[in-house]
Copies of this chain bind each other. A is one copy, B any other.
């Protein structure tokens, strides 16, 4: 095993909200522990003898046992051109792998109907070791192939199911927070409910012990204290979980303010607790602090938001109409989550795309408000538009939320989510297809010599004949004109003139797991499309 690996190629990250940092020719040094020790901009190096050779020469006197991972970012042998770059792995701040088999199924029913019809029976069935293993294995494959290197998970209330998830994450190398789901009230059906607060706490302790046995230093996997959400838990359980989190120095995750009925229910169930806010209820039981991750936060009251900003400073959101810009303006840290199976996709790229789309819908709503307000105070159209446009999240901003923003929510902002010396190499290699039509066309009959004396009609006929002949010839594959596509090609196409910002936008809007060629966590490869 080499002591150090050097990753060559283009590196791109979003060190802060709205900034896209690109080094087109970089060399990233990663030590045996997966920590980045040096980042060199090698744009000025001579590549006449190949950059790998140049790197070897540069480094030979300094370092021993170096392995160079050279990703040619321009061309392959068959004339296909793929533009590659390294990007930080995604951070999924909130999801339920136990609901993975229901992804894409919603029905027309209410949240509570959906829970009773689909969610609770499925989660409950994962107390079968074989089933939980099959379901989590499949979710992890989806998550890793989609570039997620860190995730915060809700498992189920079953110890065996929760421990199976921990074992699988540890074995497959994904950085994860593993939450045993706690719930002892009759909001849950009798077949899927903790018998008592004390049995729930004991089971949670058992999952903590299992995770410690796998990873004593919590470097890769770590327990996270998980009350399902306030109405699922008795006061005794909430207080017990708060104490356990403090005693074990563990982070906490739960749900907050996903819809208005839920907010009303919390007010009804916890009268006089937490000064009348939802966040205040968690605070009351010792569950709101700098290590708390609050999922959804779509309908946060200003006072709840204020509590979060002051005390929690963490609030990931999930696809929905969450007012992200407003939360950011309030100083609340925001990340994204796939929220399977409330969310239909385990891909954070999809979550980033939806976050961008949702922000544009909100900007439209805002525009009407701004227009009404603006007219009233005599504000110009440009000023009104500026206000509503501010609500939109750019692809770069969505990617920040999907990487460093989420890492910060999970207390890992200095460790993963960007490429800096001292941070760990949690990275994905992205490949986007380039359409080199100028060169390709030069090689075909079509753009060959154009007779200068032909009429427009003659020209059109000649071109049509050329097209028909080539399509019918099938480009040599003789199958009647179909373009041969085997499904492994992604859908992103670069046409040669894009800026990096535009390439990134195409990846966010048109990309999928086919563009994620390789994935690394702490310097270990955990997924590769190259077999």
A binding-site residues for B, Cβ under 8 Å: 100-101, 103-106, 108, 110, 129-131, 133-135, 137-138, 140-142, 144-145, 159-160, 163-164, 167-168, 170-173, 206, 210, 214, 321, 344-347, 361, 364, 385, 389, 392, 394, 435, 437-438, 440-441, 446-447, 456, 459-460, 463-464, 467-468, 471-472, 480-488, 490-493, 495, 498, 502, 505-510, 512-514, 525-529, 531
The contact of A437 among B131, B164, B170, by CB within 8 Å, is B131
The 8 closest A-B CB pairs, nearest first, are A134-B437, A104-B509, A104-B506, A171-B471, A101-B495, A344-B509, A130-B447, A130-B441
Contacting residues, chain B, for A171 (C-beta < 8 A): 467-468, 471-472, 481
Distance of A394 Cα from B206 Cα, bound (Å): 43
Distance of A518 Cα from B444 Cα, bound (Å): 28
**Distance of A373 from chain B, by nearest CB (Å):** 17
Contact of A491 with B142 in the complex, beta carbons under 8 Å? yes
- For the A-B complex with A172-B481, A483-B527, A486-B529 known, give 17 more contacts whose Cβ atoms are closer than 8 Å: A105-B498, A108-B392, A131-B437, A131-B441, A134-B441, A138-B493, A141-B483, A144-B483, A159-B460, A163-B464, A167-B467, A167-B468, A173-B481, A206-B456, A210-B460, A214-B464, A485-B527
Distance of A460 Cα from B427 Cα, bound (Å): 32
- A141 nearest CB neighbor, chain B only: B483
The contact of A103 among B440, B480, B506, B529, by CB within 8 Å, is B506
Contacting residues, chain B, for A488 (C-beta < 8 A): 486-488
Contact of B104 with A168 in the complex, beta carbons under 8 Å? no
Distance of A362 Cα from B110 Cα, bound (Å): 16
Contact of A129 with B446 in the complex, beta carbons under 8 Å? yes
Tell me whether A105 and B528 are in contact in the complex, defined as CB-CB below 8 angstroms, given that A168-B471, A467-B167, A471-B171 are known contacts: no
- A346 nearest CB neighbor, chain B only: B491
Distance of A392 Cα from B508 Cα, bound (Å): 27
Distance of A310 Cα from B321 Cα, bound (Å): 36
Contacting residues, chain B, for A134 (C-beta < 8 A): 435, 437, 440-441
Tell me whether A104 and B492 are in contact in the complex, defined as CB-CB below 8 angstroms, given that A133-B441, A138-B435, A484-B531 are known contacts: yes
Contact of A505 with B130 in the complex, beta carbons under 8 Å? no
**Distance of A431 from chain B, by nearest CB (Å):** 10
- A498 nearest CB neighbor, chain B only: B105
- A530 nearest CB neighbor, chain B only: B486
Contacting residues, chain B, for A321 (C-beta < 8 A): 361, 364
- A385 nearest CB neighbor, chain B only: B110
Contacting residues, chain B, for A438 (C-beta < 8 A): 130
Contacting residues, chain B, for A472 (C-beta < 8 A): 171
**Distance of A433 from chain B, by nearest CB (Å):** 10
A–B complex contacts, Cβ < 8 Å, 24 sampled: A103-B493, A104-B506, A105-B498, A131-B437, A138-B435, A142-B491, A160-B459, A163-B463, A164-B464, A164-B467, A167-B463, A168-B467, A171-B467, A172-B483, A321-B364, A344-B509, A345-B510, A480-B525, A482-B526, A487-B487, A487-B513, A487-B514, A487-B529, A488-B488
Contacting residues, chain B, for A491 (C-beta < 8 A): 142, 345-347, 512-513
Contact of B104 with A483 in the complex, beta carbons under 8 Å? no
Contacting residues, chain B, for A487 (C-beta < 8 A): 487-488, 490, 513-514, 529
Contact of B463 with A505 in the complex, beta carbons under 8 Å? no
